[in-house]
Structure 1
Amino acid sequence: MLLTNYHMHCHYCDGKGSPQDMIASAKEKGFQSVGFSSHAPLPFENDFCMLQENLESYLKDIMAVKDDSDIQVYMGLEIDYIHELTKPSDEKWQKLGLDYCIGSVHTLAAPNEQYPMLSVDGPHDEFMTLLNEVYQGNAQEMIEVYYQRVAQLCESGGFDILAHYDLVKKHNKALNFFDEQAQWYQEIAISTLDTVAKSGVILEVNYGGMLRGATDDVYPSPWILKEALKRNIPVQINADAHAPHHLAVHHDKCREILLDVGYTHHRVLLDGQWQDVEL
């Protein structure tokens, strides 16, 4: 399988290792094409995004690595969708000259000013505040809002790759706060795929949860990938690497999952163009 990865973080955000460290690891492991996608700055304090004052340095550093590398390197950002606050299609991101963008939903707005933005995949205490204090323990309501935000992200556009589709399940292995086989959950997860299909974006198969031991399978779950295939949604294998050693760890497993689901190709960025290559 042609090794590629376009969801990759470095020390400019919550990753570890320099861009040069990440590229050295990619070359050692036989990657032919990679892209950097550090978390774009957000307009409030948080512990996972790069600072606004470091954005220009990030872009210059990635360009330098891109020019010096003998493997294909692309410059991107992972940009959050936060309802009525920020989205990948905002002009400030579109004018940066990026090779691609990843769109993601990490946080949900609290219904009042008592809480700041809280992350569905954040630390345990933060997530428990979101679930129990903001949504009064109503997991279904919280999850429905999450998928509404994913749909709104896709409708707003401005990005190429949809990140970790069912990220809201990250804490479910430890907390068992909802049943992934429940009819209400499957209906909303599947119906949101219709919006993904209309948008034309790539659905990534992300093994970041497996890397960190939070999940036993990929984002999205294989049963969701089966529904994605029915809708002809293109897919792409990504590590969501936050350190050099994360690259390639579960690429083969993701390939096996996709082949088992029925996919034969995944969509990658090669020679400056998105193209479908065999798994």
Structure 2
Amino acid sequence: MRLADYHVHTGYTKDVKPDTTLEGYILKAEEMGLKEVCFLNHFEYHPLMGLVKGSTIFPDQIDEFIEEVEKARAFASIKIRIGLEVTYTENYLRDIERTLSEYEGSLDIILGSIHFLKGYNITGTMAPSRLFESFSEEQLYQLYFQELAKVAESQLFDVLAHPDVIRKHAVKFYGGELDSILYKSLIIKVLDIIKEYGVGLEVNASGYRHGINDCYPRIEMLELAKKLGVKIVTTGSDAHGINHLAYCLNKAAEKLMKAGYSSYTIFHKRISSFCEF
């Protein structure tokens, strides 16, 4: 079974190891027998991001990033794709849309993601304890899935990245897993929206590195997605170094198959197609 890793970060992301190169990634991907690899980087449109340059790719760096990937894939024996992982920022949607429109023919996929909730980083190394202390478990999950619905409704993105990544720290802080039954109506709302607009779900294997021993999202969300007719599902390791490439990607594929999917999705110039497992 040849898989595609559609979530691989390069040196524009601050916590990627400095010795990580595109060529190194590609050689490793070829050795592992991957079908495709998509290189992407965080894109966060916010004036304050200028204070922490290096944590995200900036509009004036996108051309440089694309050029680097195009050069690197010239010698690759597998398909190499180019994308962006865009942090949803409600107050700057028009700016995000304007920037993305400038690269309409250059990007293969655009992921939409939530990295901040109420101003707190929910995907960083450290748990945002103050956020968790300010809300009950039920309140926090409601806030998160309401925000995720907005990401899908924006129609700016092809796929929702790590759809329930709020679990990364919440599971440990609240002392238990996300109750998919309790939040079923919220999850279904998100899935109905992404089906309506033709958006996809990413099955992100980084949870196996984060200590929750699972993918984002849980299999219950994938089962609901399949039942509701969501067709687009990508797989990604969320690699921040060569040693992360395709890490537990097979488990992500197994989750999809267990949920009833017989194929995963790949993209070219933001047009989706399907590969059988």
Class of the TM-score when normalised by the shorter of the 2 chains:
0.7 to 0.9
Residue in 1 that maps onto 2:21: 18
1:70 alignment partner, SS class: coil
Distance 2:268 2:97 in 1: 26
- Amino acid paired to 1:11: G
Deviations 1:200-230 (A, max 9, x none): 11211110111x2331211110111110001
- In structure 2, relative to structure 1, the CA distance for the partners of 1:257 and 1:165 (3 Å cut) is same
Residue in 2 that maps onto 1:261: 259
CA contact (8 A) 1:89 1:156 kept: no
CA contact (8 A) 1:266 1:278 kept: yes
CA RMSD, Structure 1 to Structure 2 (Å): 2.4
Residue in 2 that maps onto 1:108: 117
Distance 2:180 2:226 in 1: 21
- In structure 2, relative to structure 1, the CA distance for the partners of 1:107 and 1:58 (3 Å cut) is same
- Amino acid paired to 1:154: A
- Amino acid paired to 1:103: G
CA contact (8 A) 1:88 1:159 kept: no
- In structure 2, relative to structure 1, the CA distance for the partners of 1:171 and 1:246 (3 Å cut) is same
Residue in 2 that maps onto 1:42: 45
Share of identical aligned residues, percent?
27
- Amino acid paired to 1:131: F
Task: Say whether residues 1:99 and 2:108 are aligned partners.
Answer: yes
Task: Say whether residues 1:241 and 2:239 are aligned partners.
Answer: yes
Pairwise CA distance, 1:233: 1.1
Answer with 254-263 or 157-166: which moved more.
254-263
If asked which structure has higher relative contact order (CA below 8 Å, sep 6+), I would say 2
Residue in 2 that maps onto 1:76: 83
Pairwise CA distance, 1:23: 1.4
Distance 1:178 1:241 in 2: 26
Residue in 2 that maps onto 1:218: 215
- In structure 2, relative to structure 1, the CA distance for the partners of 1:64 and 1:153 (3 Å cut) is same
- Amino acid paired to 2:257: L
Task: Select which of 219, 225, 230 maps to 1:228.
Answer: 225
Distance 2:187 2:253 in 1: 22
- Amino acid paired to 1:65: A
Deviations 1:52-84 (A, max 9, x none): 554332222112113332221111110111122
- In structure 2, relative to structure 1, the CA distance for the partners of 1:24 and 1:152 (3 Å cut) is same
Pairwise CA distance, 1:255: 2.2
Pairwise CA distance, 1:88: 8.9
- Amino acid paired to 2:73: K
2:194 alignment partner, SS class: helix
Task: Select which of 206, 209, 212 maps to 1:208.
Answer: 206
Residue in 1 that maps onto 2:122: 120
- In structure 2, relative to structure 1, the CA distance for the partners of 1:261 and 1:129 (3 Å cut) is same
Alignment of 1:34-183 (within 5 A): 34-43=37-46, 44-45=48-49, 46=52, 48-86=55-93, 90-96=97-103, 97-109=106-118, 117-125=119-127, 127-132=128-133, 136-176=134-174, 180-181=178-179, 183=181
Pairwise CA distance, 1:159: 1.9
Q: Which runs of 5+ in 1 are unaligned?
A: 110-116
Moved over 4 A (4+): 270-273
Pairwise CA distance, 1:101: 0.8
Q: Which runs of 5+ in 2 are unaligned?
A: none
